[in-house]
Structure 1
Amino acid sequence: MHVFGKDRGPAFYEMAHRCAQSLWQEGLPAQAILMLNRALSSPMAGTEPVLQAWPLPYRALAWLMLNRREGQFMGNPRRHWQHLATRMVEPHKELRTWRAWACWYLAKEILLESEFPPDLRQIREESVVEPAHGEIAAQLARLSPADDLAVWSDTLAWSREQLGVEARRPFAARIRRIGPEELRVVQELGHEIWWSYYPGIISEAQIDYMLSIWYQPASMAREMETRGVWYALVEAEARGPVGYISFERYLESDIVFINKLYLLPEVHGRGLGAAALAWTGERARELGGTRLQLRVNKRNAPAIRAYQRAGFRFVEDVCSDIGSGFFMDDFIMEKAL
């Protein structure tokens, strides 16, 4: 490839594809991915004949991830594209950045986050906000001369078909404040959510301990009575309660603190968390708050991503002793209201 120098025209583009194909056949998927990245550095106008034979390589990259073979090193594509998108250089920096985020999104959809995690240290230290589908689509539509958006969207649909999953559709949400008589619903949801979501993030012993001290209806009722804590249920259309939220305004402070915000894992990605946060922000302003704060486990990457997209930023790292030998190792995040 060095013979092309700085030329990123059609011949370079085709050769990058051919080299990637050869690398895959040699059992070198990580190098194949890097070569297809080089193909995406070509800013062609979209009318070149080579695109008919060698389309933009989004589907090729998805195929590589879907057909990864045991014993062959692929690296962590999700982390790779996170780094590439956030450290891009010229030429054509903006287009290449959003192409990298488009590839990152494919990796996020195809690869298990538990096996291919993001670089949370970079996210914390550099305040990297992983973009949502809509933002990537809008940027590809704005920047691409070669119809990236159509090829990427088709690849996403094809990937989901290969995985046997459907695109997540938003749910209509209803959030309503509750009284002590409905705290049993919060307790039941808490047990179901924590046991399905938190193993692997914290130990089972800590899950059991935290549920035992924070999810007793009597103790939650005392919070409501003595500290003015609000509890609300998050309800989805035709499903009933699927989550809950609790928050309070700190005394002599402008901070409204979210103590709990949890949803059943099967309704994640449906817009319910964003709706709950927006509703809480409205209530916080009514209570006279100007800042919304929360704590999130440092290993809870999906929640961190959701909070960042909602406008929260990192404030500090905290590690708290909660008794019986257990600790909460969290980020405090904050949003101005």
Structure 2
Amino acid sequence: MITVNAPHPLLPGIDRAHEAAEVNAFGKDRGAGFYEACHLHAQTQWQKGFPAKCILALNRALSCTLSADEPVMQTHPLPYQALAWILMNRREDQFTGNPRRHWQHLATRMVEPNKELRRWRAWACWYLSKEILPELEFPPDFKQIREEAVREPRHAEIAERLAALSPADDLQRWEDALNWVREQMGRSTSEVTEWRIRRIDEGELPVIQKLAQRIWPAVYPGIITHAQIDYMLSVWYHPSAMMREMELRGTWFALIEAAGHGPVGYLSFERYPDTDICFINKLYLAPEMHGQGLGAKALEWIRERAIEMGCARLQLRVNKANAPGIRAYQRAGFTFLEDVTTDIGNGFVMDDFRMEKMI
């Protein structure tokens, strides 16, 4: 066998090529022999320089419903960390495809047998890819998300379903893989336990301006140009511009604060005149605060204020390429309302989805 890559360290060693025909020879049998053959074929594809085919072989291994006490499961553990290792060690000259989109499609189009277990294993792999791969380079399938109302699951939901459905040690193997990824990528797993959101007056608008000048250049490159970022910050975030919103439209501004960190985000919203709509103009968090649940808490805080105002609907606009934002709003119960493109001057446009949630 001609090899291109050194052996995958988390897959079984081989002394010859193991071909797809050896896996297919098992037919509908998804026992220990099939499971092992998938792993051996995956190692072959990796060493030949075909990481995408290696991933497909490990997907087939995850179609098995072996119990944790099967001997083969001890020698060849469920391949969550092996898959993560492939994504962490991807090479530009070898085709990997878009694993994030691949697992999204697999999870949402799964068929029998063992549909539910296989579906949540696919979502578990998707979550690993989400943690590892840059979203701008490996985007989700927005078209499917919008047209089929696909809701990407949270960590807790995947964990719950793996624990309920798996006859093996899926949850532990998946959590081990996630912890390994976070360690390799130098990410902290500490969580914010104390936070508050408080309405501010015009005297603290410069705090929002400073936060925006830090947050936007960190999260928006690749979604809009640096020139548009600079333009929007200069037009919308000058304290005098925000003060006019307060005075003329009754816009609320608030800071999101976390214990030990101070202000880590901000938001603004207003009630549209003569409507039951509360429109969210701004909701931004510092990148290091993402994944802490603060965005969901901020949306709930806005919902409570909207009810106090007598509103029945929340609306917002989100850039069509802002995958994390779209995902967060869908999880919070927002649905797509319409496409909106707006000329904002200086040759720039906002190309957004308008989303809505009934409250």
1:203 correspondence with 2:225: yes
> 1:169 Cα deviation (Å)?
1.8
Matches of 1:157 and 1:193, distance apart in 2: 27
Matches of 1:161 and 1:240, distance apart in 2: 26
Q: Which runs of 5+ in 2 are unaligned?
A: 1-22
Q: Which runs of 5+ in 1 are unaligned?
A: none
Equivalent position of 1:232 in the other structure? 254
Q: Which amino acid aligns with 1:14?
A: E
Matches of 2:85 and 2:205, distance apart in 1: 47
1:121 correspondence with 2:122: no
Aligned to 2:25, the other structure's residue is in SS state helix
Listed as ranges, the matches of 1:256-295 within 5 Å are 256-295=278-317
Aligned to 1:226, the other structure's residue is in SS state helix
Aligned to 1:35, the other structure's residue is in SS state helix
Equivalent position of 2:235 in the other structure? 213
Contact 2:192–2:258 (8 Å) recurs in 1: no
Q: TM-score by structure 2 length?
A: 0.91
Aligned to 1:4, the other structure's residue is in SS state coil
Matches of 1:336 and 1:142, distance apart in 2: 32
Matches of 1:8 and 1:48, distance apart in 2: 13
Aligned to 2:281, the other structure's residue is in SS state strand
Equivalent position of 2:106 in the other structure? 84
> 1:171 Cα deviation (Å)?
4.3
Q: Which moved more, 1:128-137 or 1:197-206?
A: 197-206
Q: Which amino acid aligns with 1:317?
A: D
Equivalent position of 1:21 in the other structure? 43
> 1:5 Cα deviation (Å)?
1.2
Equivalent position of 1:159 in the other structure? 181
1:52 to 39, 64, 74: 74
1:156-211 superposed Cα distances (whole Å, 9 cap, x missing partner): 11222222222252342210001111111111111221122212111122112211
Q: Which amino acid aligns with 2:232?
A: M
Q: TM-score by structure 1 length?
A: 0.97
Aligned residues, how many? 337
Matches of 1:243 and 1:161, distance apart in 2: 26
Equivalent position of 1:304 in the other structure? 326
Matches of 1:301 and 1:38, distance apart in 2: 29
1:237-276 superposed Cα distances (whole Å, 9 cap, x missing partner): 1111111100011111111000011111121111211111
Using CA pairs under 8 Å that are at least 6 residues apart, name the structure with larger relative contact order, 1 or 2: 1
2:60 to 38, 42, 57: 38
Matches of 2:225 and 2:235, distance apart in 1: 16
Aligned-pair identity in percent equals 66
Aligned to 2:138, the other structure's residue is in SS state coil
Equivalent position of 1:319 in the other structure? 341
1:268-317 superposed Cα distances (whole Å, 9 cap, x missing partner): 11121111111111001100111111000001111111111111111111
Equivalent position of 2:93 in the other structure? 71
1:188 to 199, 210, 216: 210
> 1:114 Cα deviation (Å)?
2.3
Contact 1:23–1:31 (8 Å) recurs in 2: yes
Contact 2:269–2:281 (8 Å) recurs in 1: yes
Aligned to 2:135, the other structure's residue is in SS state coil
